[in-house]
Amino acid sequence: MPPVVGKVNDGADLPDQDYQSFTSEVSASWYFFSDTDSTIVKYFWCVGTSHNTTDCSVLEWLDTGLHTSFSRSLPTPLSGGTLWNKVYAVDAVGHASDVAVSDGVVIDTSPPETKDVAYLGDNLVKNPSFEVGDITGSTSSCNLVIPTPWEIDTASCIKVQAPDSPLAKDGHMFVSVSGSIQQTISGLEVGRQYKLTLHAGYPETVSNTHRSVDAIVTIGREVFSFTLDPNLCRGTCSVGDHSVVLWNKHTYRFTAVDTSLVLKISSSSRMMEFVLDHVSVQTVDYVAGQDSVDTEEHLVVHSVFLSHWSSLHASWHFEDLRCKVITRMTSIRNAKSLSTVAR
């Protein structure tokens, strides 16, 4: 009886490799060859460019002794394509097993191309998270504390909320807005593109009969709007054993037409009330690769359940048509600590 055929992996170690970037070396490892009648005394390994048991055009059959992992330098570097490693075992009486063939390894020598990179600058909004001194609980009176430098008009009702439970999107506090709240954003560069992000939700105090909330966001002459979905839970909702405000993130783009612009966030009616936290205005710089498309939509809305947050300082992705990108670096900056974490 010949030895029982085993399994061949591409690459000298586990796990099996499907891509390799080096062009002048081939390697393979193999397992599970066995022989019940006598012992395996040697293995033969070859490498070819066809998915069959006979093509050894890259490396001819090589006696590897009892080694079950082997690498070989090639006199002529590979130019690409797919390689298959092939191995058979021979036992003490000269019987050869069937040839095991790997599932192939792609030689990929091209570096990944930059597809689209967006760098976000510092937040130009002052007191973006509505954190003010030492207050606790939720105030029922309007305009007791104004989170400077935010400004309001006398017809508006702003209440700083500092609940005991971590309801805020960022930090400990947020504001409920009925009417409008505004501040002048300075330090803008005329003609540059900016990203405006805010987080809004239903306040805790809202009743079940409260319908959808429409809000208007203006920056200079640009006008945006958002609507809170009345089907979302009102105020606090229970997620597991946590009470949370269902924060909706709204993102807009605008081009600065002046070095300072008034950012104003208003409910479309004084009867409507929403809560607001973590507002940011940041530059957006794109480094676009060939054929890149701006996949970031003009308006992005999604719900976030977590009571903590992180701002994505920079995000990018690479596309490589022949090789999946294995390592991607992302830098995440926490706005409070300004520490940078790379992973």
Residues near Ca ion (CB under 5 A) are: 10, 16, 18, 103, 105, 129-130, 168, 170-171, 173-174, 277
Single-letter code of the amino acid located at 117: V
Cβ nearer to Ca ion, comparing 5 with 256: 5
Determine the Cα–Cα distance for residues 211 and 290; give it in Å rounded to an integer: 46
* Minimum CB–partner distance for residue 198 and Ca ion (Å): 11
Instruction: For residue 94, give every residue at least 6 positions away whose Cβ sits within 8 Å of its Cβ, in sequence order, or none.
Output: none
Determine the Cα–Cα distance for residues 201 and 210; give it in Å rounded to an integer: 13
Q: In degrees rounded to 5, what are phi and psi of residue 92?
A: -65, -25
Determine the Cα–Cα distance for residues 146 and 130; give it in Å rounded to an integer: 9
Determine the Cα–Cα distance for residues 246 and 238; give it in Å rounded to an integer: 10
Determine the Cα–Cα distance for residues 287 and 289; give it in Å rounded to an integer: 7
- For 248, the 3-state DSSP assignment is strand
Instruction: Report which DSSP code applies to 66.
Output: T
Residue showing the smallest CB distance to Ca ion in the complex: 129
* Minimum CB–partner distance for residue 131 and Ca ion (Å): 5
Cβ nearer to Ca ion, comparing 4 with 132: 132
Q: Find out whether 243 and 236 touch, Cβ atoms under 8 Å.
A: yes
Cβ nearer to Ca ion, comparing 171 with 201: 171
Cβ nearer to Ca ion, comparing 32 with 286: 32
Please count the other Cβ atoms lying within 10 Å of the Cβ belonging to residue 177.
Answer: 26
Q: In degrees rounded to 5, what are phi and psi of residue 131?
A: -90, 125
* Minimum CB–partner distance for residue 176 and Ca ion (Å): 12
Cβ nearer to Ca ion, comparing 105 with 256: 105
* Minimum CB–partner distance for residue 335 and Ca ion (Å): 10
* Minimum CB–partner distance for residue 12 and Ca ion (Å): 13
The CA–CA distances, whole Å, from 112 to 257, 314, 319, 321 equal 37, 18, 6, 9
* Minimum CB–partner distance for residue 128 and Ca ion (Å): 8
Cβ nearer to Ca ion, comparing 128 with 179: 128
Q: Find out whether 103 and 319 touch, Cβ atoms under 8 Å.
A: no
Identify the burial level of 16 via C-beta atoms within 10 angstroms of its C-beta, where 0-12 means exposed, 13-18 middle and 19 or more buried. Answer: middle
Edge-to-edge strands, sheet with 69-73? 7-10, 25-31, 69-73
Cβ nearer to Ca ion, comparing 89 with 105: 105
* Minimum CB–partner distance for residue 187 and Ca ion (Å): 22
Cβ nearer to Ca ion, comparing 48 with 171: 171
Q: Find out whether 66 and 42 touch, Cβ atoms under 8 Å.
A: yes
